[in-house]
């Protein structure tokens, strides 16, 4: 399989990186191929600025042959192109720097790089113009076996836009992301205000407002804050290449939003506060284990996506974190399944059959909605990102992801609105007794 293409698919799962000025630090690494940057979509006026410093090369202890500086170098590869195939056979039999299908940038044999190696210059700067648009990544090739190297580099990828050639640090198809996030921020701010108004009015009219409703308000408020942070991040990144602190606002908001989101799903699925005033032991265990793990995985995915893939086992960690995220999403379904089972048992009890059957049908609808939501946001969105990468519609995948959240929040809000006619909340606690 095309190794570059495989790496591209993994990177597509990470989503958009929150920095287009990337820093890579390689220390005592003898890998024959190191990916330096995440894929970036260039247009017809693409450019890359590279600053290389702190270069060190270690000699092999088991050989008297000296290394050749020309066997260490960087190249640019289009990960969507079948002609840029880098297979395991090529890695073991040939030097990638000699491949004609790859755009070689420079090697350590360049006089300016040699000056840095010899300590005569602190760093060296290269400017590369990418004339042919495409989805490209910068790679480092080490054609000297068992010869570790160290270096640090800064890579700035951008497209020139407008008649004045302004730098745009967003990849092709990401230019609309800031507008999309501002629109989504407006929509979520609207439903946040609407839900808060609903709760206040319900309390004034002696409506059935429960603790779960206030948790739902906190959830949608933190979701709105995450969208505000993302909108500001992309606005700043487009002009400066880095988020300048907005990523930390996003991390904090995502932490609380993640905790509240899965907690609300579990608590709704078990009927807490509007059907029963307690949390059973099984549900408590799920909350204590799954919620922290899922929040950690979600934030770790975002932070890992900002790091350079030059880190050892970077791809492995990305895959592990995504697996943990999906596993946690599946684990939260168990409390809902347990509630459905208890309601099915209650429907067989005389005097409670009609009411229990009604609740059973509603809980089944909620279960199906959660399953569809997880499948869409974890599988369908991934496929969209893979297929739309480096196209003018790359932003559609992120828009579909946020619209799925919007639809989910609206559906749950309508179903659980605190009014007397709501079938979820109109029962008194004594009408259903659930033994766990």
Q: What is the pLDDT of residues 329-345, one digit of tens each?
A: 777 777 777 766 766 66
Q: Which 3 state secondary structure label does DSSP give 13?
A: helix
pLDDT at 49: 93
Give the percent of the chain with pLDDT over 70.
76
More confident residue, 285 or 150: 150
> Is the pLDDT confidence value at 370 over 70?
yes
Mean pLDDT for the chain overall: 78
Number of alpha carbons in the 13 Å side-chain half-sphere of residue 31:
15
385 — pLDDT class (breaks 50, 70, 90): confident
**Range 172-183 average pLDDT:** 88
pLDDT at 58: 83
More confident residue, 31 or 224: 224
| Residue whose token pair is 């499948």 | 375
> Is the pLDDT confidence value at 225 over 90?
yes
The count of other CB atoms within 10 Å of the CB of residue 414 is: 9
pLDDT at 165: 82
**Range 219-234 average pLDDT:** 94
> Is the pLDDT confidence value at 416 over 50?
yes
> Is the pLDDT confidence value at 154 over 60?
yes
More confident residue, 361 or 161: 161
Q: For residue 381, what are its two tokens? A: 């969105």
pLDDT at 435: 40
> Is the pLDDT confidence value at 14 over 80?
no
β-pairing, 72-78 vs 149-161, is unpaired
Residues 6 or more apart in contact with residue 308 via CB below 8 angstroms: 22, 23, 24, 25, 36, 37, 38, 314
Q: Flag the least confident range among 3-12, 105-114, 188-197, 362-371.
A: 3-12
Q: Flag the least confident range among 41-45, 188-192, 432-436.
A: 432-436
**Range 359-388 average pLDDT:** 80
**Range 8-23 average pLDDT:** 56
Backbone angles phi, psi at 387, to 5 degrees: -80, -25
**Range 399-415 average pLDDT:** 92
Instruction: Give dist(CA 220, CA 213) in Å, integer.
Output: 11
Please answer whether residues 172 and 133 qualify as being in contact, where contact means their C-beta atoms are separated by less than 8 angstroms: yes
**Range 203-217 average pLDDT:** 79
CA dihedral 345, 347, 349, 354 (to 10 degrees): 170
**Range 57-66 average pLDDT:** 67
How confident is the model over 300-334, as pLDDT tens digits? 877 777 777 888 877 788 788 878 888 877 777 77
pLDDT at 90: 46
Q: Flag the least confident range among 71-75, 414-418, 421-425.
A: 421-425
> Is the pLDDT confidence value at 148 over 70?
yes
pLDDT at 353: 53
258 — pLDDT class (breaks 50, 70, 90): confident
Q: Give the DSSP letter string of 160-173.
A: EETTTTEEE-SPTT
pLDDT at 17: 55
pLDDT at 346: 59
More confident residue, 61 or 381: 381
> Is the pLDDT confidence value at 360 over 70?
no
Instruction: Give dist(CA 94, CA 142) in Å, integer.
Output: 11
Please answer whether residues 116 and 123 qualify as being in contact, where contact means their C-beta atoms are separated by less than 8 angstroms: yes
Q: Which 3 state secondary structure label does DSSP give 427?
A: coil
Max mean pLDDT among 76-90, 116-130, 262-276, 352-366 falls in: 116-130
How confident is the model over 191-205, as pLDDT tens digits? 999 999 988 888 877
**Range 172-180 average pLDDT:** 85
């Amino acid at each position: 399989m095309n190794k570059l293409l495989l790496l591209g698919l993994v990177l597509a799962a990470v989503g958009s990186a929150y920095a287009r000025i990337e820093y890579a630090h390689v220390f005592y690494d003898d890998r024959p191929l190191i990916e330096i940057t995440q894929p970036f979509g260039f247009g017809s006026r693409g450019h890359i600025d590279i600053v290389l410093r702190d270069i060190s090369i270690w000699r092999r202890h088991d050989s008297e042959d000296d290394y050749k500086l020309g066997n260490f170098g960087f190249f640019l590869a289009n990960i969507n192109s079948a002609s840029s195939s880098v297979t395991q056979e090529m890695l073991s039999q040939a030097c990638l720097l000699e491949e004609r299908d790859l755009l070689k940038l420079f090697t350590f044999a360049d006089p300016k790089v040699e000056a840095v190696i010899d300590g005569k210059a602190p760093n060296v700067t290269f400017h590369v113009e990418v004339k042919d648009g495409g989805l490209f990544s910068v790679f480092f090739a080490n054609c000297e076996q068992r010869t570790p190297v160290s270096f640090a580099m800064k890579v700035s990828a951008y497209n020139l836009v407008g008649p004045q050639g302004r730098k745009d640090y967003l990849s092709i198809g990401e230019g609309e992301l800031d507008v999309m996030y501002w629109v989504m921020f407006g929509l979520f701010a609207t439903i946040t205000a609407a839900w808060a108004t609903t709760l206040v009015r319900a309390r004034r009219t002696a409506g059935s407002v429960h603790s779960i409703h206030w948790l739902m308000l906190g959830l949608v408020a933190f979701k709105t804050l995450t969208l505000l942070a993302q909108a500001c991040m992309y606005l700043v990144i487009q002009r400066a290449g880095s988020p300048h602190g907005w990523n930390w606002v996003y991390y904090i908001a995502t932490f609380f939003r993640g905790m509240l989101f899965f907690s609300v799903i579990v608590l709704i699925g078990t009927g807490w506060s509007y059907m029963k005033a307690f949390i059973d032991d099984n549900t408590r265990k799920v909350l204590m284990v799954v919620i922290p793990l899922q929040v950690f995985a979600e934030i770790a995915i975002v932070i890992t996506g900002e790091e350079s893939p030059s880190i050892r086992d970077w791809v492995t960690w990305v895959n592990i974190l995504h697996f943990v995220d999906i596993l946690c999403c599946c684990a939260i379904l168990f409390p809902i399944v347990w509630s459905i089972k208890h309601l099915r048992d209650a429907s067989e009890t005389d005097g409670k059959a009609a009411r229990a059957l009604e609740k059973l049908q509603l809980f089944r609808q909620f279960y199906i909605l959660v399953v569809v939501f997880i499948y869409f946001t974890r599988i369908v969105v991934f496929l969209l990102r893979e297929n739309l990468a480096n196209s003018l519609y790359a932003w559609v995948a992120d828009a579909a992801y946020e619209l799925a959240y919007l639809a989910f929040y609206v559906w749950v809000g309508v179903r659980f609105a605190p009014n007397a006619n709501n079938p979820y909340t109109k029962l008194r606690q004594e009408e259903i007794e659930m033994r766990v």
